[in-house]
Amino acid sequence: MGFFDKLKQGLAKTRQGFVEKVETIFRGRPIDSQSLEELEETLILADFGAANAAAITEHIRDKSGKGELVEAGSVRDFLKKEMSDILGAGQRLVPFGDKPFVILAVGVNGVGKTTTIGKLAGRFTSEGYSVLLAAGDTFRAAAIEQLEIWGERTGSQVVKHQSGSDPSAVAFDAIEAAKARAVDIVIIDTAGRLHTKTHLMEELKKIKRVCEKALPGSPHEVLLVVDATNGQNALRQAHIFNETVGVTAIALTKLDGTAKGGIVFAIKKELNIPVKLIGVGEGVDDLQDFSPGELVRALFD
């Protein structure tokens, strides 16, 4: 099965919960205040976000009022265009600048952060890059072990300290080691912080400052890993992490497990942070570049 087929399969729940409901709303009915109200509610329930839902229904109301959108059946095509416009062009996560290219991975427990790091390392090594993983989640010995397993699996080097040690020291040592060994890419794991815990978020700020100290201009990417099944909570996480460390890219995992894939659109609309990676399965190859066009096509076609 190719990635598009996996994406389409992964979005089946969202398609049933959203696209099919939209078609039902407008089947044999006019575009009026009642049908538009039902559409807005459907958009919100699919986690597109209140702002997107209001804007989309208002555009349809406006075009319908001008006679530009007469047939209810054409609402589907209009929605496709609206959603493509919201997402805009896709952006890939690619190394840039002087070596090493440093990625700081952040996110709460349970979103698949360490697994995403491992899959990303596998992708980079398959492309010919050398990779060093920094075991910055020093609170959990299991997290360090998990990263070491991914290091062995992907042929990546691993820098670790003892469990309970200062994570910013791990980040510093990893960048220094990468510079000394001419490694291309450093990916730093961090503790799965509860984004409501102020002292833990302060620690994240410290790690970012230490990266800058070890290598000016780093981290080049602050990658927030969020679980699509968390819906609006994922959006709140994105808000707080962005305020704390300035998120530059999002990896959206478990898109295959949710009926609320609209969260992709909510994140883009409210934060304008690009979703660069999506996960639609457990396999190493199931972490892929996010293509807005393919996502919209997988939803509607």
pLDDT in tens, the chain (301 residues): 677 888 888 788 888 878 888 888 888 888 889 999 999 999 998 888 888 899 999 999 998 888 887 776 788 888 888 889 888 888 899 999 889 999 999 998 888 899 999 999 999 999 999 999 999 998 888 889 999 999 999 999 999 999 889 999 999 999 999 999 999 999 999 987 665 566 788 899 999 999 999 999 999 999 999 988 887 888 888 898 999 999 999 998 887 766 567 888 888 888 889 899 988 777 777 788 888 988 888 888 7
- On whether the CB atoms of residues 97 and 217 are closer than 8 A, the answer is yes
pLDDT value of position 37: 94
For residue 137, give the nearest of 117, 115, 167 by alpha carbon: 167
In whole angstroms, give the CA distance from residue 161 to residue 252.
29
At a CB cut-off of 8 Å and minimum separation 6, what does 277 contact? Answer: 93, 116, 120, 223, 249, 250, 251, 252, 287, 288, 289, 290
pLDDT value of position 245: 93
Q: pTM score, two decimals? A: 0.90
Count of residues in the chain: 301
At residue 205, what are phi and psi to the nearest 5 degrees? -60, -40
pLDDT value of position 194: 61
Please name each of the domains of the chain with its CATH number: 3-87 (1.20.120.140), 101-291 (3.40.50.300)
pLDDT value of position 111: 87
pLDDT value of position 220: 97
pLDDT value of position 258: 62
- On whether the CB atoms of residues 293 and 90 are closer than 8 A, the answer is yes
pLDDT value of position 184: 98
Which is it for the CA torsion 44, 49, 53, 54, positive or negative? positive
